């Protein structure tokens, strides 16, 4: 049993293999958060919380003579609002009488076998290993608003999921202004926060800060989970390292506007509230209806590496769906950086022919294959092949590509519309634009109003039509601008505040329909690179294009940051040309190969321009990738360097689950004369086994983990090495 109710103490306890999560229904019926961390057994953790009079923190009416009881200092599972908890709240609403407050008290709870699902939203599902569900119902009697708190307990994964369902139990309308998925309190300790910020071409840069008094807000209002702030944070002790120290991960499984608030309050207590972004949010909750919030994936571990392993395992096994979850991902060649918009069938076939010759498995035709798409100013919406570039249409190209023994993939950007398109001319009201206002343009395109059921149906017909008409094995689904001017012409004015979330409900439904109907097609997510790299998207697309920046040196930092929450199998990573098109940097082919092999591997350069030597090297890289892919995708990933220490290299390791094979990789970013050689302590090996180290020497696992490995001096521009460490 991973969920227990202890009647005598009114405790609700969730237990995973190594962690415990304790709640308590208190004397007034508030659901208190008592503890999350290493499994403490069934102790009543409320002993640590002292009630005392704290100035200027008021008391609920039932406790008016007892000034020691205040919501303003009490750790809670989901907060009330407007009734004296002056910290960040989980929810805000206004009622038809104009009141804006509610206090939620315990009504009932239910423990169920299996994992709950969330209507219309992606969520972690039960796979290998069992899960249980706890549902706690809270209610405010004056405003008649109720909340069902959902907890999914994945014992083997050391993961607890949370989501809230807010319902209107009264007879009057309620308008939600804020709807978070969870509130998590850390009442004791002093903490750092890690978050993953960035920009286009430099996503998910790891940053660690000491919490200050006040509220840290990490937010996306761009209509996408964003390049700027990934919906994932870690709260850890100041002394937490890769290998030790408490750390809590919180990941929102959502691809749209999100908000995470972390408050260090006046009493040194930390509260984290995570969920839908409340900026311009307004949800009309009619009597009898409810709103489900996106899921948060929580995990606690000792050491950042273990925390990452918990997330990697959960995403690989219990988030990603479909046949590509565990299977080999085809080594692809994408024509984008080879040709951009300037191609014809002949040029594409030359690239494909070379790709087949080098051992690649999938040819991907990127942007520019449809009518009126000479550049990125027009054409989105009309998904009809441009017969000037492809006279025989897609059929001819696909059959020729397939005759070479390659699979075929196609780029689409279905959520967008160009003003210069037949679709826009026929349905200008299908674009998100505010009345009487010229919209912001980005890449000279607009966003389709996916909250409109007609648009949803049009996209379903268009994409399923392409997949039915052509022999397509892979889809790259792009999204190349933030969403602004959010106004749906199909939605009454009073409901405009629902449009951003309804957009994502519709997008998830579309993905769900397409992936169910076409299970053999591999979908790769993309949003100008990694602008929508989140667990919501990963439910449908097992891999996501990590960044538009293909420079291997920039990629080191991007992949490093991404690896804290997401597995290597999720990161699309390609070898591109040198000098790199984004940074102009020159790097060796081997460095580009080693960096891209830490993800789902492919190529993105004009293969027809390669020298004989480069072709020979690429053939070897592909053989090598196919050989190491199972270790990279299914093994355990260890970060062996910390960029904040400025050692001038990135080093990482993949170890197979059975510890028989270890892949050690290093890229030197700053080679220096007469410098200290890179030395790393290996991790995750079998201490009692003997390993062959790159064929160089043999050594016990325990020795390699204690005494480490010293790389030879690596010189030149961005040199890299990859080493096999094999158990003998
Ligand atoms: C942005 C993507 O991230 C690129 O890889 C490429 O597909 C372009 N869009 C095409 O417009």
Q: Which domains does the chain have, with CATH numbers?
A: 3-184+276-318 (2.70.98.60), 332-633 (3.20.20.70), 639-727 (2.60.40.1180)
Alpha carbon nearest to ligand 1 atom 2, residue: 528
Q: Report the atom number in ligand 1 closest to the C-alpha of 529.
A: 3
Question: Is residue 182 a contact partner of residue 90, using CB atoms and an 8 Å limit?
Answer: yes
pLDDT at 428: 98
Alpha carbon of 528 to ligand 1 centroid (Å): 6
Q: Which residue has the tokens 């080594």?
A: 331
Write out the two tokens for 214.
Answer: 């006040």
Alpha carbon of 333 to ligand 1 centroid (Å): 14
Question: Is residue 652 a contact partner of residue 638, using CB atoms and an 8 Å limit?
Answer: yes
Alpha carbon of 443 to ligand 1 centroid (Å): 11
174 has which bridge partners?
A: 95, 285
The helices-and-strands tally (H runs, E runs) of the chain is 12, 38
Alpha carbon nearest to ligand 1 atom 11, residue: 367
**Neighbour tally for 291: CB within 10 Å:** 17
pTM: 0.98
Q: Report the atom number in ligand 1 closest to the C-alpha of 527.
A: 3
The residue whose CB lies within 8 Å of the most ligand 1 atoms, and thus the one to mutate among 336, 532, 558, is 336
**Which of 396, 338, 337, 329 has its CA nearest to residue 360?**
329
Give the integer Cα–Cα distance in Å for 520 and 324.
Answer: 8
- The active-site residue out of 192, 268, 429, 614 is 614
Give the integer Cα–Cα distance in Å for 667 and 30.
Answer: 53
pLDDT at 429: 98
Helix (H) or strand (E) holding 214: strand 214-220
List, run by run, the mean pLDDT of 10-residue segments along the chain (728 residues).
94 98 98 97 92 94 95 97 97 97 97 98 92 98 96 98 98 98 96 98 98 98 98 98 98 98 97 98 98 98 98 98 96 98 98 98 98 96 97 98 98 97 97 97 98 98 98 98 98 98 98 98 98 98 98 98 98 98 98 98 98 98 98 98 95 98 97 87 98 97 98 95 98
Give the integer Cα–Cα distance in Å for 45 and 267.
Answer: 19
Q: Report the atom number in ligand 1 closest to the C-alpha of 545.
A: 3
Write out the two tokens for 587.
Answer: 């790097």
Quick one: residue 589, left, alpha or beta (phi over 0 = left, psi -120 to 50 = alpha)?
alpha
Alpha carbon of 152 to ligand 1 centroid (Å): 37
Write out the two tokens for 221.
Answer: 């209002």
Alpha carbon nearest to ligand 1 atom 10, residue: 367
pLDDT at 42: 86
Task: Collect all residues with Cβ–Cβ distance below 8 Å to 612 and sequence separation of at least 6.
Answer: none
The residue whose CB lies within 8 Å of the most ligand 1 atoms, and thus the one to mutate among 366, 474, 549, 571, is 366
Task: Collect all residues with Cβ–Cβ distance below 8 Å to 670 and sequence separation of at least 6.
Answer: 648, 649
Give the integer Cα–Cα distance in Å for 183 and 90.
Answer: 6
Alpha carbon of 587 to ligand 1 centroid (Å): 22
Report CA-CA distances (Å) from 439 to 433, 503, 569.
6, 18, 38
Question: Is residue 25 a contact partner of residue 77, using CB atoms and an 8 Å limit?
Answer: no
Alpha carbon of 255 to ligand 1 centroid (Å): 18
Q: Report the atom number in ligand 1 closest to the C-alpha of 411.
A: 7
Verify whether residue 534 is a known catalytic residue. yes
Verify whether residue 279 is a known catalytic residue. no
C-alpha torsion sign, points 435, 440, 446, 448: negative
Alpha carbon of 316 to ligand 1 centroid (Å): 25
The residue whose CB lies within 8 Å of the most ligand 1 atoms, and thus the one to mutate among 224, 338, 482, 528, is 528
pLDDT at 1: 73
**Which of 720, 321, 348 has its CA nearest to residue 552?**
720
Alpha carbon of 447 to ligand 1 centroid (Å): 16
Q: Report the atom number in ligand 1 closest to the C-alpha of 366.
A: 7
The residue whose CB lies within 8 Å of the most ligand 1 atoms, and thus the one to mutate among 341, 367, 543, 546, is 367
* Ligand 1: lining residues by beta carbon, under 6 Å: 336, 366-367, 376, 411, 478, 480, 526, 528-529, 545, 548
Alpha carbon nearest to ligand 1 atom 9, residue: 528
Alpha carbon nearest to ligand 1 atom 1, residue: 528
Q: Which residue has the tokens 């290299």?
A: 649
**Which of 663, 587, 650, 656 has its CA nearest to residue 624?**
663
pLDDT at 643: 96
pLDDT at 675: 78
- The active-site residue out of 524, 534, 548, 551 is 534
Write out the two tokens for 232.
Answer: 């994932």
Give the integer Cα–Cα distance in Å for 254 and 507.
Answer: 11
Alpha carbon of 204 to ligand 1 centroid (Å): 18
Write out the two tokens for 211.
Answer: 């919490």
pLDDT at 128: 78
């Amino acid at each position: 049993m991973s969920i227990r109710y202890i009647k005598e103490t009114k405790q609700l306890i969730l237990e995973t293999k190594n962690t415990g999560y304790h709640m308590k229904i208190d004397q007034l019926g508030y659901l208190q958060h008592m503890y999350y961390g290493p499994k403490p057994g069934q102790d009543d953790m409320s002993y640590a919380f002292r009630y005392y009079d704290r100035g200027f923190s008021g008391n609920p009416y039932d406790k008016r003579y007892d000034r020691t009881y205040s919501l303003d200092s009490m750790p809670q599972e989901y907060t009330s609002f407007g009734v004296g908890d002056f910290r960040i709240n989980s929810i805000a609403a206004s009622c038809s009488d104009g009141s804006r407050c509610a206090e939620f008290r315990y009504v009932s709870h239910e423990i169920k076998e299996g994992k709950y699902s969330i209507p219309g939203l992606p969520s972690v599902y039960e796979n290998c290993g069992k899960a249980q569900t706890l549902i706690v119902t809270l209610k405010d009697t004056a405003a008649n608003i109720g909340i069902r708190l959902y907890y999914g307990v994945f014992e083997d994964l050391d993961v607890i999921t949370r989501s809230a369902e807010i319902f209107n139990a009264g007879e009057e309308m309620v308008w939600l202004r804020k709807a978070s998925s969870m509130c998590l309190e850390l009442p004791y300790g002093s903490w750092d926060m890690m978050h993953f910020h960035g920009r286009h071409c430099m996503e998910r840069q790891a940053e660690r800060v000491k919490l200050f008094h006040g509220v840290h807000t990490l937010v996306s209002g761009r209509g996408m989970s964003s390049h700027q702030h990934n919906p994932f944070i870690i709260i850890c002790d100041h002394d937490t390292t890769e290998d030790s120290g408490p750390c809590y991960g919180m990941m929102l499984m959502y691809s749209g506007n999100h908000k995470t608030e972390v408050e260090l309050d006046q009493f040194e207590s930390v509260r984290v509230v995570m969920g839908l972004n409340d900026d311009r949010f307004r949800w009309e909750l009619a009597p009898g209806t409810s709103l489900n919030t996106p899921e948060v994936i929580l995990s606690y571990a000792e050491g950042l590496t273990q925390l990452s392993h918990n997330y990697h395992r959960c995403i690989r096994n219990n988030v990603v769906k479909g046949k590509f979850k565990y299977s080999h991902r085809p080594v692809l060649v994408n024509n984008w950086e080879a040709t951009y918009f300037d191609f014809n069938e002949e040029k594409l076939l030359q690239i494909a022919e070379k790709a087949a010759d080098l051992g690649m498995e999938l040819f991907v035709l990127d942007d520019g294959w449809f009518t009126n798409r000479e550049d990125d100013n027009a054409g989105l919406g009309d998904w009809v092949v441009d017969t000037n570039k492809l006279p025989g249409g897609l059929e001819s190209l696909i059959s020729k590509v397939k005759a070479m023994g390659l699979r075929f993939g196609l780029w689409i950007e279905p959520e967008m519309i160009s003003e210069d398109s037949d679709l826009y001319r026929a349905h200008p009201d299908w674009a998100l634009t505010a009345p009487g206002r010229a919209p912001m343009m980005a890449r000279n395109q607009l966003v389709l109003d996916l909250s409109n059921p007609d648009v949803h149906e049009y996209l379903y017909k268009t994409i399923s039509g392409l997949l039915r008409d052509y022999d397509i094995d892979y889809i790259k689904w792009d999204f190349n601008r933030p969403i602004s001017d959010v106004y749906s012409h199909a939605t009454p004015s009073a409901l405009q505040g629902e449009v951003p979330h309804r957009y994502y409900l519709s997008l998830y439904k579309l993905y769900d329909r397409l992936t169910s109907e076409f299970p053999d097609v591999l979908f790769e997510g993309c949003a100008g690179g990694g602008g929508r790299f989140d667990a919501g998207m990963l439910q449908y697309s097992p891999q996501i294009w990590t960044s538009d920046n293909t420079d291997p040196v920039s990629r080191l930092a991007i992949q490093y940051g991404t690896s804290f929450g997401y597995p290597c199998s999720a990161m699309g990573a390609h070898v591109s040309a040198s000098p790199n098109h984004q940074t102009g940097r020159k790097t060796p082919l081997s460095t580009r190969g080693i960096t891209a092999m830490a993800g789902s591997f492919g190529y993105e350069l004009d293969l027809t321009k390669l020298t004989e030597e480069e072709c020979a090297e690429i053939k070897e890289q592909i053989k090598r990738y196919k050989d190491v892919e199972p270790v990279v995708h299914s093994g355990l990933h260890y970060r062996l360097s910390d960029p904040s220490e400025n050692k001038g290299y990135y080093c990482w390791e993949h170890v197979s689950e059975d510890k028989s094979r270890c892949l050690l990789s290093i890229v030197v970013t700053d080679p220096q004369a007469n410098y200290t050689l890179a030395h790393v302590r290996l991790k995750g090996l079998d201490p009692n086994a003997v390993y062959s180290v790159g064929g160089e020497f043999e050594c016990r696992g325990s020795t390699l983990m204690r005494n480490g490995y010293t790389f030879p001096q690596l010189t030149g521009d961005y040199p890299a090495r990859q080493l096999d460490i094999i158990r003998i």
